Structure 1
Amino acid sequence: MLEVEGLVKRYGKQNAVNDISFSLQGGEVVGLLGPNGAGKSTTMKCIVGLLRKTAGSIRIGGHDHLSVPAKKLFSYIPETPHVYDLLTVKEHMQFIAQAYAVEDWKRKAEEWMEIYELTDKQDKLGRDLSKGMRQKVSICCALLPDPELLFFDEPMIGLDPKAIKNTKRIFKELKENGKTILVSTHLIDSVETIADRIMIMKDGNIIGNDTLANLKATLSESDDSSLEDLFLELTKDE
């Protein structure tokens, strides 16, 4: 579903992403972890086309990542949710539905708004929404077109406990339906229970990319090590 080969993103003489390669298969949830400045968001923004890569190739569903056929396959939820100030919550859903030619969009939009408790907020303007509400609108808009591939950059930030629980449940349901998810987060415990595979980045490099069980077997002396323990061990300064 996603193939990244030799991705480099350079700012001046400094590499933010340093010649990384990885792939995501259909029906797979992959957690992308790393300390601040590791290159997680930069990698994701290069994949979705918000940043121009310096080198490398990125293909989504066999298509170049900047092509229209590729863009029809994925949704992206940024770390900082952006909404239109003068569109209501419902108008955001209508805008996405028309852009992606979503059939029966009103029913689907109502279902997502109900899950994220936005039904009574559907006539509020974007400028009047709290950060948490904006995040919920962003997630609903991303889910509405029923994409094959979803990119979540810190999806749990700003969400209340019920919304976090619902989002985890939705991840599992999407996976069961064959969808592919790449989720970048600092909240390690939120991804430990849902990810099939963990990728850990540090200084623009991928320093771990395997199932949690395999990472524990190869990198930890104890079977009781948590993902947090492994993460801290791998990303500690030399």
Structure 2
Amino acid sequence: MMIQIDQLTKLYDDHLAVDQLSFELSAGKICGLIGPNGAGKTTTMRCMAGLIPATRGELTVAGCHVSGDSLQLKQRLAYVPDDPPLFDDLTVGQHLEFIGRLYNVDDHRTKANGLLSQFDLLSKINAGATTLSRGMRQKLAICCAYLFDPQVLLLDEPLTGLDPPGIRSLLLSVRKRADAGATVVISSHLLAMIDDVVTHLLVMQRGRLQYFGAAADLRSQFPHAKTLEEAYFAATSNESGLPESAALDQVLEIKNMASDLTEPTLDHLALPRSESLGEASL
């Protein structure tokens, strides 16, 4: 198994952020990590990446014990957080030059140019990081993560700020990485976007595991659910006792996205019932 998480528990003082989470994921799989805000998704990823220590539990990622093999883990894993930090004093090209040298990537400049072209950043190669839009910063961080071909990719809300072509490029690249043997964990509130890419789903709520398994199996547990969103709402509302409308208040629902990874278009947008389109901040 490429990822083995056994009884992961994380406490912040008296707040239980992750509660005895266990799952395994093999090479070449793409796992969608989903749940409402505060479910423990980012904390789980940060523990897996070795950025924060688990309070309890055994975590093995890419053959490394997270608590003890930190150097080897960094060579095999890439974590891209939501709103990734960049070096303000470096250009786009210098970021990739730094990563290429740090990881001793063969022919890193040719590879870097290919990634920048793939994510439509080649024209920004000499631009400073502070001049980039949110979406461009996100794409640059993903290029840096891809450059050294990590065995495990942890992508926390990677679709944030991306335009439709950027979303398409990212999802295609995730599928390509998995086909080459990488294991990918991707968190997103845009469930319809990742529906056609993920092989597995890990659903969390209030720090606890609600479901883990094949994406298709989640729908089979809720036969009335026609979409991933509906199955997700059913899975989370069952534990909480909340009606489906309450679950809708926690997750942005986008339906009828293009399912073949062509350029996405929005046909339906569901907002919290208490907000009008003019009042909602998206």
Normalised by the length of structure 1, the TM-score is 0.96
Q: Say if 2:62 and 2:77, in contact at 8 Å, map to a contact too.
A: no
Report Cα offsets for 1:8-45 as digits up to 9, x if no partner.
11011221000111111001001000000000001001
1:173 alignment partner in structure 2: 176
Paired residue secondary structure (1:166): helix
Paired residue secondary structure (1:86): coil
Per-residue deviation, 1:175:
1.4
Over aligned residue pairs, what C-alpha RMSD do you find? Answer: 1.1
1:77 aligns with 2:48: no
Relative to structure 2, which stretch is displaced further, 60-69 or 103-112?
Answer: 60-69
Report Cα offsets for 1:136-162 as digits up to 9, x if no partner.
110100000011110000010011110
Per-residue deviation, 1:61:
2.4
1:142 aligns with 2:145: yes
Report Cα offsets for 1:49-77 as digits up to 9, x if no partner.
22221111111222212521222111111
Structure 1 regions of 5+ residues with no counterpart?
none
2:130 to 121, 127, 132: 127
Identity fraction in percent: 34
1:191 to 154, 171, 194: 194
Structure of greater relative contact order (alpha carbons < 8 Å, 6+ residues apart) = 1
Per-residue deviation, 1:178:
1.2
1:115 alignment partner in structure 2: 118
Distance in 1 (alpha carbons) for counterparts of 2:207 and 2:61: 21
Q: Say if 1:149 and 1:179, in contact at 8 Å, map to a contact too.
A: yes
1:41 aligns with 2:48: no
1:54 alignment partner in structure 2: 55
Distance in 1 (alpha carbons) for counterparts of 2:30 and 2:223: 26
Normalised by the length of structure 2, the TM-score is 0.81
Distance in 1 (alpha carbons) for counterparts of 2:52 and 2:64: 18
Per-residue deviation, 1:171:
1.2
Which aligned runs of 4 or more in structure 1 are off by greater than 3 angstroms? none
Paired residues, what number?
Answer: 236
Structure 2 regions of 5+ residues with no counterpart?
242-282
Per-residue deviation, 1:168:
0.9
Report Cα offsets for 1:164-221 as digits up to 9, x if no partner.
0011111111111111100011010111101111110000011111112211222x13
Q: Say if 1:65 and 1:71, in contact at 8 Å, map to a contact too.
A: no
Distance in 2 (alpha carbons) for counterparts of 1:99 and 1:57: 29
Q: Say if 2:62 and 2:152, in contact at 8 Å, map to a contact too.
A: no
